[in-house]
Amino acid sequence: MSERTMDGLEAARARGRTGGQKPKLGPRQVQLAREMYDSGELTVQQIADEFGVTRPTIYRHLSKVPSRTQTPA
């Protein structure tokens, strides 16, 4: 049974379908959150409240988008 399930998932991926829940924040929202965070005017909790998500969600998305204040090494 599990082999057939894996085959079905593989076939779905081949057709361009993906599983799982959709991201809570879109790319534009992630960029806005990064700008808010980098400005230093708002706390992470305030940013999370603004977008209607939790703090860990904000941290998870921020870890994927580099800060503009960081200098490349």
CATH of the domain at 37: 1.10.10
* 37: region left, alpha or beta (phi > 0 left; psi from -120 to 50 alpha): alpha
Domain tally for the chain? Answer: 1
Mean of the per-residue pLDDT values of the chain: 89
Domain hosting residue 51, numbered range: 22-67
pLDDT at 23: 86
pLDDT digit string (tens) for 24-46?
A: 999 999 999 999 999 999 999 99
End-to-end CA distance of the chain: 50
Is 13 within a domain?
A: no
Please tell me whether the overall predicted TM-score, pTM, comes out greater than 0.95 for this model.
Answer: no
Asked if the structure places residue 4 within a domain, the reply is no
User: What confidence score (pLDDT) does residue 42 get?
Assistant: 94
Residue 18 reports pLDDT greater than 60: yes
Whether residue 21 has pLDDT greater than 60? yes
Q: What is the DSSP string of the chain?
A: -HHHHHHHHHHHHHTT---SPPPSS-HHHHHHHHHHHHHTSS-HHHHHHHHT--HHHHHHHHTTS--SSSPP-
Residue 47 counted as domain residue = yes
Q: In this structure, is residue 39 part of a structural domain? A: yes
Is 58 a member of any domain? Answer: yes
